[in-house]
Chains A and B, each alone.
Chain A
């Protein structure tokens, strides 16, 4: 009996082992097959980005293209808006944290590559070195079998050359300035492009999170400047790449055309209350460049991940703005503040003149609307989780989430401790 029991036990144990081994093999097989099947479906369910067929912004039927010289920057150089001439104040130093010599030196350092390659492009001046319009095109043409293949190569090249996010959208004449302008010489420039582009490759560049927590300061100004420098270097490099594979192209920064509508159209993000593109990856903490080309590419579609809806209740940027330049209205509308706004587009219009005057008062390019935005977070899993939950939450919860953002210590502006933290991080 004892020996029989022992035998049974042995058989039982070996059966357990067999089932254990079998389940391990089955588990491994499931784990291997998960990435290609179940996980793909699960990620589709988790992905809260809604792809849209049309631009999620209402455009008036009477819309007319915006003139570059109507921007607050250009007006500041003319008798139209002399109090906007705050630019000499931006480099002023003091003993205050964030405005010391060492802090303000970051501004010039950040802007340096932009100043060498595309000085004035930030004000909209076209045809600078990086953003040259007429460019030599190679006679050796690289042929692509499909527009999909061409897009794949363009996006990979853009990311390799330094872009953090890339989107592609068709050329839309509505966003090209009706006329160009050089504020330094006070001269109008005809809005002539060297060719009619077919596609626009929109490039987004992340600005450093820790640097932006110091806003308004020389450090955040340095981060902004570095964003512009990256725009010039990567934009010019991508343009050169496209020219060398036999296609016409030119790169732009703030010149030639409006950036935010192209950012929205190419699916990089949504337009927000603060007038900035909010991306799902970096929130509003991005700078935008564009490369116009004659290439036939496959186009990305606009997306919605709840920003516009969240902005209706949040208003943290409007509360944080030291110049009261951001609208407190609940819903976006066609209302404009002054001639600096692009009329005929439904949005929360910002008062660009008040904004620029505040730059002078804070002796920096401010950026408090970027820093205070709840979407301005480092790319960590728990922020992405909150962003995804946010899409499904009702309005009342949005207000709670806005308050929680403050309680958790995010979005502080005029934070002198952040300056120390930046330098020591």
Chain B
């Protein structure tokens, strides 16, 4: 790997992905005018997915493959669930009260 070792490359990409994650959340907030429950769910989801990525790559680098798989399961899956919940909240149609004459 030359000058950089595996963990340094992993942290570089983690930085890139974190930036993309924050930008993604900001875009969602702007585009969908998201409120705090969605922002909280998205933030937790992105954080957990990034953490599971970092955990799993680190475990692969230390050649502990079971730890890598379990890292994805324990941290990545809840992250996806949080993202799904956020998506569901965003895709809910706003309830419009019909005014009666």
What is A's interface to B at a CB cutoff of 8 Å?
209-210, 378, 380-382, 407-410, 421, 425
B88, CB-defined interface residue at 8 Å:
no
What is the count of residue pairs linking A and B with beta-carbon distances less than 8 angstroms?
A: 28
Supply 7 further A-B pairs (C-beta < 8 A) apart from A210-B63, A382-B58, A408-B70: A209-B62, A380-B62, A381-B7, A408-B64, A408-B67, A421-B63, A425-B63
Q: How far is the CB of A419 from chain B (nearest CB, A)?
A: 14
Q: How far is the CB of B58 from chain A (nearest CB, A)?
A: 5
B55, CB-defined interface residue at 8 Å:
yes
B side interface size, CB within 8 A: 14
Name the residue in A209, A210, A378 with the highest tally of chain B Cβ atoms < 10 Å from its Cβ: A378
Task: Give 9 CB contacts A-B under 8 Å.
Answer: A209-B62, A380-B7, A380-B61, A380-B62, A382-B58, A407-B70, A409-B66, A410-B67, A425-B63
Whether B67 and A409, one on each chain, are in contact in the complex, defined by CB atoms closer than 8 angstroms, is: yes
Residues of B within 8 A of A380 (CB): 7, 58, 61-62
Whether B70 and A382, one on each chain, are in contact in the complex, defined by CB atoms closer than 8 angstroms, is: no
Measured in the bound complex, the distance between the Cα atoms of B7 and A210 in whole Å is 18
Name the residue in B58, B64, B70 with the highest tally of chain A Cβ atoms < 10 Å from its Cβ: B64
Measured in the bound complex, the distance between the Cα atoms of B54 and A381 in whole Å is 10
Measured in the bound complex, the distance between the Cα atoms of B59 and A29 in whole Å is 35
> Which A-B residue pairs are the 9 nearest by beta carbons?
A409-B66, A408-B67, A378-B62, A408-B70, A380-B58, A382-B58, A409-B67, A382-B55, A380-B62
Whether A408 and B71, one on each chain, are in contact in the complex, defined by CB atoms closer than 8 angstroms, is: yes
Residues of B within 8 A of A407 (CB): 70
Instruction: Identify the closest chain B residue to A381 (Cβ).
Output: B58
Name the residue in B55, B61, B65, B67 with the highest tally of chain A Cβ atoms < 10 Å from its Cβ: B67
Residues of B within 8 A of A409 (CB): 64-67, 70
Instruction: Identify the closest chain A residue to B64 (Cβ).
Output: A409
Q: How far is the CB of A388 from chain B (nearest CB, A)?
A: 15
Measured in the bound complex, the distance between the Cα atoms of B84 and A269 in whole Å is 45
Q: How far is the CB of A323 from chain B (nearest CB, A)?
A: 27
Measured in the bound complex, the distance between the Cα atoms of B66 and A407 in whole Å is 8
Residues of A within 8 A of B55 (CB): 382
Residues of B within 8 A of A421 (CB): 63
Measured in the bound complex, the distance between the Cα atoms of B70 and A209 in whole Å is 20
Instruction: Identify the closest chain A residue to B65 (Cβ).
Output: A409
Measured in the bound complex, the distance between the Cα atoms of B67 and A410 in whole Å is 8
Measured in the bound complex, the distance between the Cα atoms of B70 and A380 in whole Å is 17
Q: How far is the CB of A316 from chain B (nearest CB, A)?
A: 16
Q: How far is the CB of A19 from chain B (nearest CB, A)?
A: 19
Measured in the bound complex, the distance between the Cα atoms of B71 and A327 in whole Å is 32
Instruction: Identify the closest chain B residue to A405 (Cβ).
Output: B67
Residues of B within 8 A of A209 (CB): 62
Residues of B within 8 A of A378 (CB): 62
Instruction: Identify the closest chain B residue to A209 (Cβ).
Output: B62
Residues of A within 8 A of B64 (CB): 408-410
Residues of B within 8 A of A210 (CB): 63
Residues of A within 8 A of B65 (CB): 409
Q: How far is the CB of A409 from chain B (nearest CB, A)?
A: 3
Residues of A within 8 A of B59 (CB): 382
